[in-house]
Chains A and B, each alone.
Chain A
Amino acid sequence: MSIAPTRMIERTKRRQPAVEREACVVEVHEHSPPTLFHSGEQFRLERLPVGSRIVYPPPPLKGLIDVDAAICAALDSPLGMDPLDSLLRPGMKLTIAFDDISLPLPPMKLPDIRGRVIEHVLERAYRAGVEDIHLIAALALHRRMTPAELKRAVGARVFDEFYPDRLYNHDAEDPTEIVDLGQTRHGEAVELSKRAAESDLLVYVNINIVSMDGGHKSVAVGLGTYNSVKAHHNVHTMRHSKSFMDPNKSELHNSANRQGDIVEAAVPIFHIETTLNNDMFDGPLSFLAKPEARWTAREQTTFAALKRTTDRMHPKLRRAAFHKSTAPYSITGVQAGAVGPVHEVTLDHVAAQQAVYVKGQADIVTAGLPYVGPYNVDSILNPILVMCMGLGYFFNLYQGVPLVREGGVMIFTHPVTREFHPVHHPSYVDFYEEVLATTTDPVEIEARFEKSYAEDEWYRHLYRTSYAYHGVHPFYMWYWGAHGLQHLGDVIFVGGNAEACRRLGFRRADTMRDALEMAEQVVGRDPSLTHFHCPPLFYAQVEA
């Protein structure tokens, strides 16, 4: 098999979509309506002080009209690689790895793009006479996907044919199915799924929803082990990834790229990346993505009804209802080929949908945390995931400099209840009760506790045979927020549970007004305030 030398596709001059989005940054004036804040499975309307800025997400891009044609085109004319057909031959070992349940958020309406891409790949493989095909959910240290979830991701046809012998979850703790690929020049260990590493071709099917995902991170991390992941999932790297949503300035990505190079040297990777628009709210709820001032009378009524219902619903029913919802995403791009060039194009697509230019940092940034993050699909956003959501994701959704100035305050709305999913997050409970009760300092946590959790036999067993996140996973969630913890002067949760917020080391307030007063004690009187109106997902390109 030959791999063609990298062919860079001539592309039209890059556009700078972010700066053309002045309309996404709106100033609050005397007559502005109250602002929508997500707060877990509830909603709040808060009046922000006059003069505050609200950064809204860009409107959803128009998706591809014929996704199948786009997939075919990508497979037939890949970037930096020969067409897929020419890479397939009878008797070869083919492995198809795909992104796990953590993407996209919320889950997309059927058909899932992963399944569509996989069907095209399989069709070509069959045509070429390939018989030895395995499908692996590249879930790294995430929880295993249930049969139903796998079926949803790959489609019923593929599932029925391959499950369970040839369609399975990656197991980072199976000593017999892991191969050591050596070290990078920085001494980072590279361990990979044996099946993937020993394949003649590894096809990776990705969904790119934030700029952190994709690229070399897909294979090196998704099919890696604790040993390889800990090379960059640590406090030092996270503090030097400013931000990890900006791959060019992210130590995390540099490290993953070095590992990716080692992997690529061992096994040829045919990388397929797909991008989605930010059409997250379906049908009658689509107004949630719009500025409040643009809500029609009918939408206002809908919102009032929605708020009343969710406020009065039993929490369990409410959670079930929210987690059943899916998003009507459209596909904005399908790219295939060598990892590097593919990812570059993908990032352009992500930027086209998500980037908003914001001038200047604010003293205070507010944001409403929604009910779902990458690690609680069909589960519970426990306090540690809330921290990761706020300080890991929302804080890091910037390129350039953070939206909030150094020493500034972030105010989130979320109930922060002490609730854990007993099956999915067992190690989180212990992290909360044992580690956080001792300290909240990421460096100390890493030094004192990480190893014992990572190597715990019980957690390992739960990760391998049940549906539990790996024992070390809550640590990564905490490290995700390490940069934010270092940068911020204070973090306040409006409506947060007192005990839980205290345990996390944050403050809490009953109302936004109280929270703003508390924040003023940190940043001084008459602070500047920016509201990050997410979801739908986007990021701010901030110029100091």
Chain B
Amino acid sequence: MLALPDDVLIQQRLAGQTVLLTGASGFLGKAVLGQLLRELPDTRVILLLRGDAQQRLENEILTSGPCEGLDGSRVQTVSGDLGREGLELPAGIDVVIHCAASVSFEQPLDEALELNAKGPSRLLEAVRAAGSDPYFIHVSTAYAAGMRTGLVLEKPSGTAPTEPWLDLNAELDAAQAWRKDIEAESRLPQHQHRFVAEATRAIGPAGGPAVGTRAEILRYEWVREQLTERGRERARALGWSDTYGLSKALGERTIITKNPKHLTIVRPAIVESALHTPYAGWMESLKVADPIMLGYGAGIIPGRFGANRSIRIDIIPVDFVANACLVAAAHPPDEVRVFNVSTGMRNPFTIHDLAEMTTRYFRERPLPDEDGLPVSVPEWRFTSAGNILTKIERANSVLAKGRELVDKLPIPRSNDVELRLHKNQRKLDRLKRLNEIYRPYGELDCVFDDRNARALLDNLHPDDRERFGFDVDEIDWDHYIGEVHLPALRKIAVPPAPGPKKTRSAGRRPAPEGPPALALFDVEGVVLDSTVAHFYAWLRTRDMPELDKLVWTAGAATKVPSWIIEDRRSRTAFNRNFYKLYKDLPARELKRQAEEALPDFIQPRIQNEAVRRIREHKRRGDRVILITSALDFLVEPLQHLADEVHAAKLIERVGRFTGELAEPPLTADGRASLAARLAADHDVDLKDCHAYGDSLADLPLLELVGHPHAINPDFRLSREARRRRWPIETWGTERAAV
């Protein structure tokens, strides 16, 4: 079987050879490249990378853990995408190690097939087109064998008698057709209405364009979800747990039909953090099994998971897989060779063990929760997956009811309630997703045979065993999970502890930088702690005797809920309707009364931080602009605070207000376009402008400028602000003192 005698070292076997490595920016690829650079100094390496390959090599790959400090000068790069036709490669390639793959369990079928099933043959053809006939090492997955029970032999996919017959092109065509269908379906009225309704609920006051954008995002997400779901269903119908396994199996089958000179299919199980090289616990992002462990440690999975405790979970450190690939590269087989790199056979590790070790680890060293306090993890119990999903569904419907209720009923502290509901919903969504993805793995009762791998290992020279060993017997699970893997996970998930901080922030926030531009302030909620309704109430009641005031307030209070609901849908509509209250009120009389607004109404409600910020902006040469939905004569004194005030104006007829606004209300996108126009007028770049807002109605404005600030945001705006990493500040008035 082996061409060279056993006392020839791997280094000598591969000396002078050229290895083409794909997927070098991935987890396994980096580990392989690291070993290549470290242990095989006489081997030339070519990397196939997407995008600007040379730059990615220097910035992403050579700086990563396995390659750090190694000389990458003998690495050559080629730019190209395996997911597309028309790949061009240099000549003289002796060995191909194909690590590139999409490893997501939630990929639409067409995307998965394109890369994982068509990629390998595409690669081989490109190499052949360049004039070489290389030894092809295809990295597949143990799960390409499909949902089996019992022993899974090291045979290529499609060779067992019971395996289904598959037609790659038919599958791909069907998957692409789905995409078209679902794209079309998503545009049908019943779906569109749903997206628009949900978008309106989330960011209605931000105005039409914002709602449109959000609805489109929802539609896109829905399409993807549907495609994933269909792909998964198709894979499961054929006997695979997901599109990943299916596409990998198809990849194996197609590469075999291309009949390379030599072919090894390496089938690793669940690849996790490194045990030895480059260092124990090397890992860059969360891998397959990690979301579950982490989710459990973070208290998201409430100690229940749909799995069978005695099932072996086949985890393998990444450096073992990388070594296996290189050992395979040095030992080309005469006919197609498949070997599993797995632990289930020789060193079994069950879900029960995992649960126990994880529980012990997170009990001893708990993760911090959102507030930085230790999470106390429950006992990890197992039930059937169906059971769990029913429970999740039930909780989901309760939450949905709650959210609907909060939406309809303006209850006090609804911001807090909404936030809590939202948090729970997020937790539940994550749990549901995890359960859906991993359900088959928790029930996959099989053992991967590793006889071929073993034979390869046994043939190695002792020196090579030292350098390229992948003997799974040596894994001590207690050590690997508890001391290596979980700490590595922790390092990724938990930000490093900050140094000692000053307990009191005496220093002032540094002044904004950049060239002077515009500073746009919303008035209600930012400069003043009030709304247009407060202005109205003040104006109407200020001359009333106490008793009348009480009666009037009680009457107005009954209308407040409907105002709030309307405002949540659309600020513009609310303003229009609200100002109808001014209908037939005497204009001159109200304007006279408004003269007292400064000491009586405005000053007590002013948020002094706004005044300081305005002054700061003026000092550095910014033009300060206040934008308000309040009436011009009420906010007249604010002229002295800013350079410009844009307020609402009511139409007057024979000394009385008609209740109509002279111009469309300045809200949502109206504010954004005003800002854009002002920026153009004053010839400044919107990127240098600052905007301060408190509600979703300011979202378009905030999105437009380079320096947005969310001030006392309501729940919805704070969600958007956090998502966009905008600074969120809390300002207050001095009203409490009087």
Contacts and interface: CB of A to CB of B under 8 A. Distances in A.
Contact of A430 (B599, B604, B612, B733): B612
A467 B637 CA distance: 13
B637 A461 contact: yes
B615 interface: yes
Contacts of A422: 603-606, 733-735, 737-738
A466 B608 contact: no
Given A434-B508, A458-B640, A466-B603, A429 B608 contact: yes
Interface in A258-287: none
B611 A420 contact: no
Given A421-B734, A437-B507, A426 B604 contact: no
Nearest to A417: B737
A430 B613 CA distance: 10
Interface string A438-472: 10000000000000100011101110011110000
A438 B603 contact: no
A458 B611 CA distance: 9
A457 B618 CA distance: 11
B737 A420 contact: yes
Given A430-B612, A457-B640, A502 B599 contact: no
Given A430-B611, A434-B612, A466-B598, A423 B603 contact: yes
B603 A462 contact: yes
Contacts of A426: 603, 606, 608, 611
A419 interface: yes
A85 interface: no
Given A465-B598, A465-B637, A423 B608 contact: no
A132 interface: no
Given A421-B738, A422-B733, A458-B641, A502 B603 contact: no
Nearest to B605: A422
A123 B44 CA distance: 113
Interface residues of B, number: 26
9 contacts: A419-B737, A422-B605, A426-B603, A437-B507, A458-B611, A458-B615, A461-B641, A467-B599, A502-B504
B609 interface: yes
A456 B615 contact: yes
B637 A433 contact: no
Which of B609, B615, B733, B736 lies at the interface centre, i.e. has the most chain A CB atoms within 10 A of its CB?
B615
Given A429-B608, A466-B598, 15 more contacts: A419-B737, A420-B734, A420-B737, A421-B734, A421-B738, A426-B603, A426-B611, A430-B615, A437-B507, A438-B507, A456-B615, A458-B611, A466-B603, A466-B637, A468-B603
Interface string A408-423: 0000000000011111
Nearest to B616: A434
A430 B616 CA distance: 12
B619 interface: yes
A380 interface: yes
Contacts of A380: 737-738
Contacts of A468: 603
B3 interface: no
Contacts of A420: 734, 737
Nearest to A465: B598
Chain A contact patch, size range: 20 to 34
Contacts of B612: 430, 433-434
A440 to B, nearest CB: 11
Across chains A and B, which 4 residue pairs bring their CB atoms closest together, nearest first? A461-B640, A419-B737, A422-B734, A429-B608
Interface string B585-620: 000000000000011000111101101101100010
A437 B506 contact: yes
Nearest to B600: A423
A429 to B, nearest CB: 4
Nearest to B609: A433
Nearest to B736: A419
Contacts of A457: 640-641
Given A437-B507, A468-B603, A462 B598 contact: yes
Contact of A421 (B508, B641, B737): B737
A499 B503 CA distance: 12
Contacts of B615: 430, 452, 456, 458
B471 to A, nearest CB: 63
A433 to B, nearest CB: 7
A466 B734 contact: no
Interface string B619-652: 1000000000000000001001100000000000
Nearest to A320: B738
A465 B637 CA distance: 9
Nearest to B506: A437
A98 B506 CA distance: 43
Nearest to A434: B612
A475 B603 CA distance: 21
Contacts of A456: 615
Contacts of A423: 599, 603-604, 738
Contacts of B507: 437-438
A502 B504 CA distance: 10
B600 to A, nearest CB: 8
Report which residue of B614, B619, B640 has the largest number of chain A beta carbons within 10 angstroms of its beta carbon.
B640
Contacts of A467: 599
B730 to A, nearest CB: 13
Contacts of B604: 422-423
Nearest to B507: A437
Contacts of A437: 506-508
Contacts of A466: 598-599, 603, 637
Contacts of B734: 419-422, 429
Interface in A308-348: 316
Nearest to B614: A458
Interface in A93-128: none
A421 B603 CA distance: 9
A433 B598 contact: no
A316 B611 CA distance: 26
Interface in B710-738: 733-738
A460 B603 CA distance: 14
A430 B608 contact: yes
Nearest to A146: B599
Nearest to B639: A461
Contacts of A421: 734, 737-738
Contacts of B736: 419
Given A380-B738, A462-B598, A465-B637, A438 B606 contact: no
Contacts of A429: 608, 734
Contacts of B614: 458
A422 B598 CA distance: 11
A94 B641 CA distance: 37
A461 B735 CA distance: 20
Contacts of B640: 457-458, 460-461
B724 to A, nearest CB: 27
Interface in A187-226: none
B208 to A, nearest CB: 36
B697 to A, nearest CB: 25
A499 B604 CA distance: 23
Nearest to A457: B640
A73 to B, nearest CB: 42
Contacts of A419: 734, 736-737
A421 B609 CA distance: 15
Interface string B103-127: 0000000000000000000000000
Contacts of B619: 452
A419 B738 CA distance: 9
Contacts of B641: 457-458, 461
Interface string B660-677: 000000000000000000
B534 to A, nearest CB: 15
Nearest to A464: B640
Interface in B483-524: 504, 506-508
A10 B599 CA distance: 52
A460 B599 CA distance: 14
